Structure 1
């Protein structure tokens, strides 16, 4: 699914995007709020071999159970990836990353990031529309959720604006569920 305008595109990641996807993830992990937003450090991610980055991107691009969406903008003579969100499908009977039991087939949004110089222009909203739309199109998915740290007010405000409501608290994370009908 590609959503395009003259100078920007929201689309699924492609296999050949792996170097740009790697660089975008590393940029996300350097963000001042990264310790609240991501369960990985810059140092750990940066040490990962290129083969792991390729596999991560190729798996999403090849139609595996998870999808990474990216925001691509035209910059000078080329393009650059400036935002991302990943959708993980969670199956009943499995355990989620916080140790909770998954009761129903559901989608979980993770790894949300837009470069600071591109925030406020609708890219994050476009990424979320693509991710939620894809998730809701998957057979048997009964809900779309995400977790956000209780101290990450910037992200909480965006998620509420995007149609998510708080449905629970797990440790220092709010669980939010998509409720808007768009």
Structure 2
């Protein structure tokens, strides 16, 4: 039996904008995309190359406000998954239009290619993403939102240690549905500390 090499996780590089675009468009074609992402394939595909260049440049290694990580297949270098971490400052406004209460990390854009799900890729991505979040000054909490119908994703987030905060926001275009906020406190941080 051949053992599949572990996926290497690393921050993207600015010059990898074409790969960033390709993986994002693939993610937006996934059947779960309507409940997992805030934009659509059509919206993303219509964006000019300059958008993707700026996106990659802004979330590449060395950035202090946002960092995108990718997992690479150890056999052929294919990007097998991605996650992005945004640093939010207290008083800012998040993508849902609510005021951010404290400096924190916001995990977004989680995607693993279907053929690599269940192989540990998402665990490796989250290890890198959360470790980076904890390295940012004054960040003691990470959060993410999960659509109430995205049970597979929520199971992983809870297994990883994220817990419901009790905060919900209505889903854009379908206010009968909600996105639930899940949070993860930095180890050693007393509850309620901001």
**TM-score calculated relative to the size of structure 1:** 0.91
Equivalent in the alignment of 1:55: 54
Q: 1-side partners of 2:138 and 2:6: how far apart?
A: 35
Q: Per-residue deviation at 1:64?
A: 4.1
Q: Per-residue deviation at 1:98?
A: 1.0
Of the structure 1 ranges 143-152 and 159-168, higher mean CA displacement relative to structure 2 is found in: 159-168
Q: Per-residue deviation at 1:16?
A: 2.3
Report if the CA contact (8 A) 2:5-2:73 is conserved: no
Q: Per-residue deviation at 1:74?
A: 3.7
Report if the CA contact (8 A) 1:86-1:112 is conserved: yes
Q: Give the unaligned 5+ runs of structure 1.
A: none
Equivalent in the alignment of 1:111: 109
Equivalent in the alignment of 1:150: 148
Find the partner of 2:180 among 160, 174, 181: 174
Equivalent in the alignment of 1:129: 127
Report the number of matched residues: 176
Q: 2-side partners of 1:8 and 1:177: how far apart?
A: 26
CA RMSD of aligned residues (A): 1.7
Q: 2-side partners of 1:137 and 1:7: how far apart?
A: 24
Q: 2-side partners of 1:74 and 1:135: how far apart?
A: 25
Question: Which digits, 9 at most, give the CA deviation of each residue in 1:28-75, with x for residues without a partner?
Answer: 000001000000000010011111111110111141410001001145
Larger Rg: 2
Equivalent in the alignment of 2:97: 99
- Structure 1 runs of 4+ with >6 Å offset: none
Q: Give the unaligned 5+ runs of structure 2.
A: 171-177, 189-194
Q: 2-side partners of 1:96 and 1:8: how far apart?
A: 31
Report if the CA contact (8 A) 1:93-1:102 is conserved: yes
Of the structure 1 ranges 15-24 and 29-38, higher mean CA displacement relative to structure 2 is found in: 15-24
- CA shift in 2, pair 1:7/1:155, >3 Å: closer
